[in-house]
Chains A and B, each alone.
Chain A
């Protein structure tokens, strides 16, 4: 699975959009970009994933650059409950293993 690079931490004001970047310059053609988050020490929570096209769901939007070497997770209206560590993970959707390789993620602090 390709390696990812994320900023260690970010701040965002409540109500504003939080834009979390991720670099994955060695991504392969069959690898997807996944985002999970972990609030305090709870179990990680799936947010969104995509291959090439931008994706949106009720939680967030995922913007993937045309060369697929980087992506941005957007929380359109961040709230205090969005304070968490956000993990960008790149992996192929094939194979027999279901392993996710978590890096150190970005610690997002949403403030009043």
Chain B
């Protein structure tokens, strides 16, 4: 089954404790993205990747890092999480700009 998976689905952590949210897709997609969703602000793109070792900033990249060492994986790294990064995070993948995006199930992160 074609899918995007994210782990963990729920995470509560404390300020400053480094964490990684994993994202994996099994569709051989070139493009992958991370979004965050906050009430009243909609979904906003954090980072995206057009291929292995090619990543670029989206609209709200501050406080986040990503890597794309393999085509199927695109982890999101928070080196020093802060409470304003409490949010619902979605990973997405697609063949390219002309194609539909497939979204993961989401990761609800709470930073206290």
Contacts and interface: CB of A to CB of B under 8 A. Distances in A.
Interface in B23-59: 31, 33, 37, 40, 42-45, 48, 50, 56, 58-59
A102 B42 CA distance: 6
B48 A99 contact: yes
Contacts of B44: 102
Chain A interface mostly helix, strand, loop or mixed? loop
B105 A43 contact: yes
B103 A45 contact: yes
A50 B90 CA distance: 25
Contacts, number: 62
Contacts of A75: none
A92 B97 contact: yes
Interface string A60-101: 000000000000000000000000000000011111111110
A53 to B, nearest CB: 16
A97 B56 contact: yes
Nearest to B50: A96
Contacts of B58: 99
B45 A49 contact: no
Interface of A: 34, 36, 41-46, 49, 91-100, 102-105
25 contacts: A34-B100, A41-B108, A42-B106, A44-B43, A44-B92, A44-B101, A46-B100, A91-B97, A92-B97, A93-B97, A93-B98, A94-B97, A98-B48, A98-B92, A98-B94, A98-B96, A98-B97, A98-B101, A99-B48, A99-B58, A102-B43, A103-B42, A104-B40, A104-B42, A105-B42
Given A44-B92, A98-B92, A99-B58, 18 more contacts: A42-B105, A43-B4, A43-B92, A44-B90, A46-B100, A49-B100, A91-B97, A96-B97, A97-B50, A97-B56, A98-B31, A98-B50, A98-B101, A99-B33, A100-B43, A102-B43, A102-B44, A105-B42
